[in-house]
Structure 1
Amino acid sequence: MKLTTEQIECINQTLISKGVKFDDLKLEVLDHIATEIENEMEVSNNDFPVVYNQVFDNWSEEFKLTRDFFSLQSTYPKIVNSKLKNQFQREVIISVVTAILLIISFQVVYNTQEKLEFIRLMKDVMIYTFCTTAAAALLIKFWNLKSKATSTYKHLFDSRFNLLIFSLSFIINPSIPHDLTNQNLFVATIGCFFVSLLSIIFLGMKHIQFQRKFSIQ
């Protein structure tokens, strides 16, 4: 049994009132809940208000407010924080893998002078990557000013964008560690930093893609 436009809007407004305000996640959850309501109405022959209350009761745990994973002040429904955490966990895993691969590559270089050249090369790559990322991020930031849609991607992009300013100190620092322990730590840090820069572009582009789909809808 297909829901009417008014019934779908009722679900939409309920999700907003429960704190699911990111459009990408709201559309995803709305689709799941609407499908559940349609199936239940068809099976039980109950009216929309009855099934509506039953389904939202089943989802109540997902709408409980929890503290924002990236803030000590903001709170979001559990389902929102879960999506934010999942993205962060993916980034952590990729960062760790990248750091390990770079450290392994660094160990292959035995000569002390060559190790220093290896690190200098990585720093040069990081400078170019940072400049490219900063330029692209500014363009995406400008695009987002015109965006009418909100998304978890935009939320995460904005939180990462602020890190660009703080990362300047790491980029412009000319010093290179000469002891092996700090060199390995430095190489691992560069690997994590490289992933964080790429994640800024990834999140920004994902929001732009969603914005285009959202405009069509």
Structure 2
Amino acid sequence: MKLTSQQIAQIEETLVLNGIQYDDIKLELTDHIASAVEEKITFHGVSFEVACREVFENWTEQLRPTSSHWVGLINSSPKIVLDKWVRTTKQLQLKALLIALFPTVFFAYFFNGKQNKFDYTLLVQIFKTMCFAISLSIIIFKFLIFKSNIKTSFSLYFNKNSTVFFIFLFFYGLGFIPIKLSIWDFGTSLFFILLLSFLFVYSLFCIGLAYQHLQFVKKLKLS
């Protein structure tokens, strides 16, 4: 039995009441739950209300509000949203760290013992410019997401994950926090190469989440 548009709307409303405010996850869950409800009505001969209640009981654990230290204990969301958020955060951080190791190892190999012959002034200026450019890009994408007036898991992860890194990049770019590349301290210089490389790569991954949000909004408006 195919559900009516009113019944599907009722499922969506129940999901919203359970904290599912993100359209991409809401659409996915609505499809799963609607299919399960249709199956119960067809094969068990129960009413929509009974089928809907029984199916939602099976989703109780996934819809339970929870938190994680990976994304901040103050950020409570339904378990299905938080699990995806934690999984995405771990993956992006690990990938960013692995990629950031390449310029760090390159710097360590080619400039160790030669740092007194290397002028860091240009490199510091390049880093400042990149910091400012990426922080400006984050601001632009935050504005585009706000303007879209649609919530997705991508916008949630982007807004939450990029905020702290944006602050560091912005202050590095303006010179409020010094980039300590020094001919006298190779270890500190190496640390800053790794730190800034990680910030750059992770921020670019976060911008990728913002782009996924905008792509979803575009498809949503076309459907």
Matched, 1:73 2:74: yes
* Counterpart residue identity of residue 76, structure 2: T
CA distance in 2, matches of 1:190, 1:162: 14
TM-score, normalising length from structure 2? 0.83
Equivalent position SS for 1:109: helix
- Tell me the distance in 1 between the aligned counterparts of 2:117 and 2:202: 24
| Cα distance in 1 for residues equivalent to 2:119 and 2:24 | 42
- Cα gap change, 1:208/1:105 in structure 2, threshold over 3 Å: closer, same or farther? same
- CA change 1:125–1:197 in 2 (3 A) is farther
Structure 1: runs of 5+ lacking an equivalent = none
- Counterpart Cα distance in 2 of 1:174 and 1:189: 10
Within 5 Å, give how 1:16-95 maps onto structure 2: 16-67=16-67, 70-95=71-96
Which amino acid letter does the alignment assign opposite residue 95 of structure 1?
A
Structure 1 residues 174 and 82, CA gap change in structure 2 (3 angstroms): closer
Distance 1:115 1:30, change over 3 A: farther
Would the alpha carbon gap of residues 119 and 5 (structure 1) be closer, same or farther in structure 2, given more than 3 Å must change? farther
**Inter-partner Cα distance in structure 2 for 1:152 and 1:28:** 12
Structure 1 equivalent of residue 8 of structure 2: 8
Q: What SS is found at the alignment partner of 1:112?
A: coil
CA–CA distance in structure 2, aligned partners of residues 13 and 34 of structure 1: 13
1:119 Cα deviation from its structure 2 partner: 6.8
Render the CA deviation track for 1:116-164: whole Å, top value 9, x for unaligned: 8497676455334333323333332332332121112222222314532
What's 1:184 paired with?
190
Change (3 A) 1:210 1:7: same
Tell me the residue number matched to 2:128.
127
Preserved CA contact (<8 Å) 2:124 2:181: no
2:176 matched to 1:175? no
In percent, how many aligned pairs have the same letter? Answer: 26
Contact 1:102–1:187 (8 Å) recurs in 2: yes
Amino acid at match of 1:84: W
| Match for residue 208 of structure 1 among 193, 205, 214 | 214
What amino acid does structure 1 have at the position aligned with 2:196?
Answer: I
Decide whether aligned partners of structure 1 residues 63 and 174 sit closer, same or farther in structure 2, where only a CA change above 3 A counts.
closer
SS in 2 for 1:3: coil
Q: Are the aligned partners of 1:24 and 1:152 in contact in 2 as well (CA < 8 Å)?
A: yes
Q: How many residues align?
A: 217
State the shift of 1:91 in Å.
1.2
d(CA) in 2 for partners of 1:114 and 1:188?
A: 16
Q: Which moved more, 1:195-204 or 1:23-32?
A: 195-204
